[in-house]
Structure 1
């Protein structure tokens, strides 16, 4: 139960979220306190229980990221979501239990290598005199918060992450250790983020022809020892050492695969619409 209720943040409509209902959805049985232990436990439980997925985009619905709709979808109907839905929900819960949080719209990859627009939403929390990165909406991302204020390894199961010291441009890179090399997942930006920024990013991500999320289903769930990833019709299991196994999923088995591998339930009609939207190898390149 919530032990320290906080004043709702009207800017982000957090009053729409019931922390106890959310905790039940993700299987969190501990207290809901504004401390690092609770923040970490909620982060870990969310990533374990709720898959990253863009199926509403493939169904032509264009996700409504208003919190009442997000709560109904993820908490009550037990679906997954992508970064705006997942991290807005997560931040709202933290806000409600009294954790000082900021929503931050950042860039995927490294802008010094290939500049991309600010299109990924993360959560930054201030606890125990430090800044912590929370991200339950990346798919192939951390299971637990990562400290931002100093460059140190953050081992999480078989995966290892770090947040770099600021580069020459003043931004920090969030990196994962892959095959002995640090690879940048995304870049933290100090600019303020407002609800209108997130709304515009969601609109572009869910409708732009250049967005990867409109081209094929993307469903991801990462655990301590492996990651399951469904891209189009290809189901892949990836391990921290870089090894992987993959298989193609027939259209008739698609709904069952979503249920068995990701605990996602689609109706028969929804599954047909999703598979009908997946390009075949003979179609244009996926990009």
Structure 2
């Protein structure tokens, strides 16, 4: 099993599906047990990162759970916890637990495991389409004006082959000069490459959104607090020769910094310079209320 990144040999890419659908494809393990899945294709380990790209685990947990609820149910909340760094050299196993089965709501808990230990866990709530009655209340933040979408051929965050499944474009930080971090706003335009297939349904679109959600989001912390987030350059090897892995990481970090207007290591950590991020996390508090329903209706 050493350096076996998938449990079974990956099939050829499906040309009828978008790149992100192929990346997130799951293999169901019905012969081993019910509601068990594993990654069909190898998962990306960003250069310099502690483990695999977190968006892949988020999205595949969602994709696994979606296969255990009726097709007319959509996820409306997802609470995620990263427990351990994922290892890109071995498969990830996804275990779906049925917590609630209702007429309008369903709840699932999914654990992503490697070597028998959970690396990620999430609890999701699903709601049946049009179960809120005839009248519902909706609102959304309006799309910013004069925003140029990203090019289909380019991406600011790619995988190790430079062929990531989505494209992204950074948008300037609002209130960047404010002394109060809570007044600043970071924004990003993201979209899946190509066109998600009709057979993927709304589930494929939601899984794609979950995959892309881990890009740029946590970096908000360092950007609004003006922290150096690119890490300390690795020490040179004793023999003075750079390894392919070190060169790969250097090229990736250079591309990432250039995408944000940072060049070289002139702003790196040290006395009198910007402090470096050691470890960070983002906490989002969300109040959830039942969906408004018409008088006399039942859940």
Instruction: Report the TM-score, using the length of structure 2 for normalisation.
Output: 0.25
Name which one, 1 or 2, has greater alpha-carbon Rg. 2
So what's the TM-score if we normalise by structure 1?
0.26
Higher helix fraction: Structure 1 or Structure 2? 1
